[in-house]
Chain A
Amino acid sequence: MQTGQSLKYLLEARELIIGYPQRTISGPLNLHISQGDGLGIIGANGSGKSTLLRTILGHLMPVAGEVRFLGLPVNEDSLSFRQLVAVQVTDGTFFEELTVAEHLELVARGHKLGSWKSLVAEELEFFELHLVADLLPHELSSGQRRKLLLAASLIRPAQLLILDEPEQRLDLRIKAKLYDRLATLRKSGTTVLAVTHDPQLLRHSLGQALLLNEDHGELIEAAVGAQWLER
């Protein structure tokens, strides 16, 4: 397996056209993302932000072009891809019989983290879920379920962290803590890719923005992207 250190880019999209066989949504897009970069994906509703994420993750086939992770085509079946890429989807589903803590245990033990008990406790503390650690998903509020999804994506080590509107349904305090943490993660070498509508996230935690506009994408500075979102 090749490592990220030996390659110029962690993630690349070449002449990527996203969409479905009957309908192209956006493209061609060209992206070059290095280790420790932060990219916010912004755009109007229906511009293809989530579709782009799903294509990068390999959940959807590109209409044309390709996405490469560590120099090789994205392959969700690859063990290393699953080890190195962490994902938080918009509206995740849950095992109805597992508690909040057990969901985090599943991820931590699945990634063979030795000190999983303390890591689970830390995440519960960080997202202020410790009081509901033993509750089942259907007993949580939508905001708490959201926090559980974020905790699951952050409890495990990753070279690439992909987030779909992480700001949704979070209170201001948790949002601020999360944005700080994302900035710290970037400094330690984790690449962050996030679909967002929050200018604060762009300014604070991400360096660049990809503005998806009708049928093309435009790379801009995070501050410019934040201004676009504020308009």
Chain B
Amino acid sequence: MNDNDVSVQESEFDPQQLILRAKRRRNFSERFESFSDAYVWVLAAIVALAYLFSAIFGLIFALLGQGVAHQKMPAAVWSLQELSPILLALGAIYLLRLFLHLGPVGINAAKADWWLPLPLGLAVLRSGALRNALIVGMLSSTFVGVLWLIVLYGLAGAFHPLVAGCAVVCFVLAGVFIASVGVVVQSYGLQRLVQHWIDGCLVAIGALLMIFWGLLAMGKQWAKSVVENVGSSVLHLPTWICAATVLLVLSVIFTWWAAQRNLKITSRSLRSSGEKQQRVLGVLMQADSRSIGAPSATVLGYRRRRGRRIAANLTIAWRILVLRLIRGGYWQSIAGYLLLVLGLTATVEQIANPLSMLVFYLMVGVLLPLNLSGVIAPMLTQRQLTQHLGQPSAKLERTAALFAVIYSVATLSLLTGGLGLLGVVDLSNFWWWCAAVFAGSLGAAAASLGHAQRNERDWESLLGSATSDTSVAIVLYGELSTLVRAVAPLAPLFSMILSPDADIPWPLWVISLLFTLPALRLIVGRKF
């Protein structure tokens, strides 16, 4: 029983050959279908990157408040460019954490059920899984790195093409290094421990940021020069050449080590990593990023027990919604966003400007309906709930609508109140602000109701089942209409941010109220 497969001679029979033989047998239409699927995804990725590029540039333009006067915040001690290296470090750390969550070496369910139990040497299976892990590491690191480069380009205005080229090489090498480290950690079964260390590392980075923020606020010149040097070093070629050299050495060593240790990864680990990878891919396809953060089993266990007391005295429908919000971790993305907005506004130069505020409201207008629709979707789409709960569907829909409005009011009020406390928005017209927040909340609720009612949330099947340009356009139109419904009711808020002293033009109220009608209709319970 101690004759591990590592020592086994490779059998003559190679399951991979059988699978390849079957793949080669496919007829032209099947091959074309497979090719066209891949082609559509590559095309979609290129188009998405182009839009992402524009969106990032737009965001940076707004955050820097180009051409608009910004307020001098007393606690704003550093610039976005000075913070950009931290963003890169965080990206790399999160990538490693995600890789540890995913394995990173895993095999799909078919291989786990059919290939893994065969009494053969599994070197082919394992090396294929290792190769996939390294490729995914390389691609994801390059993707994160290129996004960061776009941000840097937007902040710095320009940098030498050689710097960009060298940086991309660094990102590729960093991806190989991160994936290899993940494989080595997986082979020792230390993922949880290392994830724990990474969490500690993130806390340390946060603490370091707080310390430097304090030092800068106290006017310590040496701290200022450290921050400036770090911020500007990313624009210099020698920094990247040095980083590339170090990463090359590290990635060669760790890739070799990973290849050795790959043979020691247990079948149990290969199987469970494959399951996790499938799950994460599934939630990505549903545009649900909650599990990407890879919460630990302890956190999930704790989360599952939370909220019982809060929901104890609520009616069953309200209890379902509140427990979904708490135990599903939906509230965390909104809370995180609010903290990020307030933190950036208070501590980073130039961000306290009307354009940034406009973007912050715009983003919450998109994030809120997406987040809310996940919470309320069962109430609107699972018809069997009416039988299980013994309540008519109209009542469940009304509960969902009311919940959506209350949640939106709370979110927009916290954002507006926080910005008001910082003095970035002028809340002297208090009742107009209240009215604008309420209208915006109704709009966010209406958009979330619309989004949740479209049952199908799987992007792969949505786009995959779209057989023509027209059906793709219909899918995209549906998503666009959600976006418009979410953002249009924020028009009075935009007006108050951009022209705090002027009255809100009445057409804006009309537009806003028009888009809030679906939510109002559900709350009132009749058509009008």
Contacts and interface: CB of A to CB of B under 8 A. Distances in A.
B22 A97 contact: yes
Nearest to B1: A72
A110 interface: yes
Interface in B111-158: 112-120
A116 B150 CA distance: 58
Nearest to B267: A76
A81 interface: yes
Contacts of B19: 95, 97-98
A110 B13 contact: yes
B156 to A, nearest CB: 48
A8 to B, nearest CB: 16
Interface size class of B (residues with CB under 8 A): 20 to 34
B420 interface: no
B238 interface: no
B312 interface: no
Give the interface centre of A71, A94, A109 by most chain B CB atoms within 10 Å: A109
Interface in A25-78: 58-61, 69-72, 75-78
A99 B4 contact: no
Given A72-B1, A98-B22, A59 B119 contact: no
Chain B, interface SS category: helix
Contact of A81 (B1, B22, B266, B301): B1
B114 A78 contact: no
Contact of B119 (A79, A89, A96, A103): A79
Given A95-B22, A110-B118, A79 B3 contact: yes
B110 interface: yes
B5 interface: yes
A13 B1 CA distance: 17
Contacts of B116: 76
Most chain A CB inside 10 Å of its own CB: which residue of B11, B110, B271 = B110
Contact of A58 (B118, B268, B297): B268
Nearest to A88: B113
Interface in A102-142: 102-103, 105-107, 109-112
Nearest to A137: B110
B113 A98 contact: no
Nearest to A59: B268
B4 A111 contact: no
B465 interface: no
B502 interface: no
Contacts of A188: none
A77 B118 CA distance: 10
Interface in B183-222: none
A79 B268 contact: no
B8 A110 contact: no
Contact of A106 (B8, B18, B297): B18
A69 B18 contact: no
B228 to A, nearest CB: 47
Contacts of B23: 97
Nearest to B301: A22
A78 B110 contact: no
Interface of B: 1-5, 8, 11, 13, 15, 18-19, 22-23, 26, 108-110, 112-120, 266-268, 271, 297-298, 301
Interface of A: 1-2, 21-22, 58-61, 69-72, 75-83, 87, 89, 92-99, 102-103, 105-107, 109-112, 152
Given A79-B119, A93-B109, A95-B110, 16 more contacts: A22-B297, A60-B268, A75-B1, A76-B116, A79-B3, A79-B4, A80-B3, A82-B119, A87-B117, A95-B19, A97-B22, A97-B26, A98-B18, A103-B114, A105-B18, A112-B11
26 contacts: A1-B1, A21-B297, A22-B301, A61-B268, A71-B1, A72-B2, A76-B268, A77-B5, A78-B2, A79-B3, A79-B119, A80-B1, A81-B1, A93-B108, A93-B113, A94-B110, A94-B113, A95-B114, A96-B110, A97-B22, A98-B18, A106-B15, A106-B114, A110-B15, A112-B119, A152-B114
10 interchain residue pairs of minimum CB distance: A110-B118, A72-B1, A93-B109, A83-B119, A97-B22, A82-B119, A76-B267, A109-B13, A22-B301, A95-B110
